[in-house]
Amino acid sequence: MDIFEDAPERAYAWAQAGRGAALATVVETWGSAPRRVGAQLAISGDGEMQGSVSGGCVEGAVVIEALEAVEDGTSRLLEYGVSDGDAFAVGLACGGKIRVLVEPIGDAGMPFDILADLVKARAARAPIGYAVSLSGGNARLVSEGYENRFRMDRSGVEEDGDTFVAIHNPPLRLIIVGAVHIAQALAPMAQIAGFDVVVIDPREAFGSQARFPEAKVINDWPDAALEQVGVDTRSAVVLLTHDPKLDDPALHIALRSPAFYIGALGSKRTHTSRVERLTAAGFSADDIARIAGPIGLDIGAAGPPEIAVATLAQMVQSLRKP
C-alpha cells in the first residue's frame, strides 16, 4: 500500500452497523493505471464511499457495481480501460487498464469474520495478507508463504493466474533516539518516504515539538520509551546520541526485537567499544552484526543532511533487499 488507507475499517464499520458494504480492490494493472495493485475503495450499501481505485476515472462505475453486489451478495471481477484523456486529468501521461475485484461483505463475498480479523490485525500492527480466488471463494487471511510480497509491500496475482493476495502491512515507522541535528534532517526525509517518525530524548531542550513539528516526541529515557512505543517488523531504530548511557539501553531492546533496521551513529572506534559492551552484556556476534555502525551507506556523506540521506537509503535497502 502507498499509505495506510482505512477502506477495510470503513467497510467493517458499515457492515457492523447493518448498512451493508463492499470492498473494491485493484487486482491487476496494465500501462499507466492511476492506482497501484492493492488500492481499495469501500462502498456502503447506501452509497457512501472511502478510498480510491482509479483516482476518479472509474469510481462511479465501480460504485454502481458495488451497490449491486451488496444487493445480490455476489462478488464480481471488473475490467476497465482508462482513456488517455482521463489519465491526463489525474496527472498521468497516458492511459491504461485495471481489473477490480468487488466483494460484498458477507458469506458469498468477503466473510464478515475474515474482515473483522483483518481489521484487528491492522490495528495491532501485525502484517497480514488477504488471499482470495478471482474465480470465486476460498477467501482466507495469510501471514506466511508470501515473504517477498510482504517485504516489498506488493499485492498481486499469483502464478496460477487465479489467487490474488492483498498485502496489508502496517505503516513503516522510524524511531530516532537522540534529537540532534541529524535527527532534524532525517525526520522530515523519512516522513516524505512514508515513515511515521518517533523522536526520543529525555533532554526536553533537544526533544521538543518545536524542533520536530511533524513527529511524535517522547521525553523519556530510551529504554522506557521503546517499551512504550513497541518495536516490530516494520520498525527502524536509529541511535544518534553516541552516548552509551542513552544508546546502550535502547540497543538492548532493539536487538531483542524484530526491527528490520538498527543503526547507530559513531566512528569505527566508537563502534568497537560498543561491540565490546554488548558482548559483555551477553549479545552474540550475530546479534551485534545487525547494527549498522558507523551508520548509513558509504557515500562520503559530510554534514547532518547528507548523513541523514545515507541513513535513510540504508534503511530502505535493509527493508527491500535484506
- Residue 298 CA to residue 304 CA, distance in Å, equals 14
pLDDT of residue 91: 44
pLDDT of residue 275: 96
Strand order in the sheet with 261-264: 216-218, 195-200, 172-177, 235-239, 261-264, 291-292
pLDDT of residue 82: 64
pLDDT tens figures, 241-293: 988 999 999 999 999 999 999 999 988 999 999 999 999 999 999 999 999 98
Nearest to 311 by CA among 180, 201, 153, 182: 182
pLDDT of residue 95: 59
Cβ neighbours for 192, distance < 8 A, ≥ 6 positions apart: none
The phi and psi torsions of 173 (rounded to 5 degrees) equal: -135, 135
pLDDT tens figures, 20-44: 999 999 999 887 666 789 999 999 9
- Residue 78 CA to residue 57 CA, distance in Å, equals 14
- Residue 158 CA to residue 83 CA, distance in Å, equals 27
The phi and psi torsions of 52 (rounded to 5 degrees) equal: -160, 145
Spans of the chain below 50 pLDDT: 1-4, 88, 90-93
CA distances from 164 to 118, 142, 168, 178, 300 (A): 16, 12, 13, 42, 43
pLDDT of residue 26: 95
Q: What does the longest C-alpha to C-alpha distance in the chain come to?
A: 69
pLDDT of residue 287: 96
Nearest to 115 by CA among 150, 166, 74, 156: 166
What is the enclosing helix (H) or strand (E) of 1? none
Cis peptide before 244 (omega within 30 of 0): no
What is the model's pTM?
Answer: 0.77
β-pair partners for 239: 177, 264
Instruction: Enumerate domains of the chain plus CATH numbers.
Output: 7-168 (no CATH), 172-320 (3.40.50.720)
pLDDT of residue 92: 44
What is the enclosing helix (H) or strand (E) of 297? none
